[in-house]
């Protein structure tokens, strides 16, 4: 192996190790803020969709497509903020998140699957399918909040 290649690999490994250590040292309150921020944004972009699905706002395919794309990204951001080290932090997260991690992961996965269905429906131009997908996302949100979030 050439010395330049070896030096590059050593530098890369060193950076990767440092990054892993830095991530592992994220403060619990920062993780809580991360997940709360992601969920706040999810609500911001889901609200107009729910209004459209419920007939309270006119259907706008462009807004549905844009918000579905945003939700697809935001729907992935909150979950690593539920590190067990955050269980003592002030939030509305119930202890069941950490007592029943498989059930919590199942709820998070269900949410992501439902968002994926909306993304597909929004690209198809099928208003009825998009509205049904929006309703299913709402049900996934509610189910998770019922089991894992204090009122």
Each residue's pLDDT tens digit, 63-88: 999 999 999 999 999 998 999 999 98
Going from N- to C-terminal start, the domains of the chain cover 27-148
Correct CATH for 27-148 of 3.40.50.740, 1.50.10.20, 3.30.70.3190, 1.20.120.10: 1.20.120.10
Give the per-residue pLDDT at 25: 82
Confidence class for position 100, pLDDT limits 50, 70, 90: very high
Tokens of 54: 């419920």
Residue 94 contacts residue 149 (beta carbons within 8 Å): yes
- Over residues 29-44, the mean pLDDT reads 96
Is the full-model pTM beyond 0.85?
A: no
Least confident of 1-10, 79-88, 106-115, 131-140: 1-10
55: left (phi over 0), alpha (psi -120 to 50) or beta: left
Segment 48-76 shows an average pLDDT of 97
34 neighbors 122 (Cβ within 8 angstroms) = no
Backbone phi, then psi, for 149, in 5-degree steps?
-135, 135
Q: List CB contacts of 86: < 8 A, sequence separation 6 or more.
A: 28, 31, 32, 93
Rounded distance between C-alpha atoms, residue 148 and residue 102, angstroms: 12
Decide if 89 contacts 136 (C-beta within 8 A). no
User: Element (H or E) spanning 34, and its range?
Assistant: helix 28-53
The phi, psi pair for 93, rounded to 5°, reads -70, 130
Average pLDDT value over all residues in the chain: 89
Polymer length of the chain? 151
Phi, psi of 6, rounded to the nearest 5 degrees: -65, -45
């Amino acid at each position: 192996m050439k010395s330049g290649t070896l030096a590059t690999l050593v530098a890369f490994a060193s950076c990767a190790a440092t990054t892993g250590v830095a991530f592992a040292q994220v403060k619990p309150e920062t993780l809580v803020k991360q997940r709360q921020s992601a969920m706040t944004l999810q609500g911001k972009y889901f609200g107009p969709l729910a209004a459209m699905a419920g007939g309270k706002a006119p259907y706008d395919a462009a807004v549905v497509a844009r918000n579905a794309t945003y939700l697809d990204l935001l729907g992935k951001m909150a979950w690593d903020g539920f590190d067990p080290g955050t269980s003592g932090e002030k939030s509305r997260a119930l202890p069941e998140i950490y007592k029943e991690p498989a059930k919590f992961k199942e709820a998070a996965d269900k949410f992501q699957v439902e968002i994926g269905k909306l993304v597909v429906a929004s690209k198809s131009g099928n208003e009825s399918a998009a509205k049904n997908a929006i309703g299913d996302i709402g049900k996934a949100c509610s189910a998770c909040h019922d089991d894992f979030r204090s009122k």
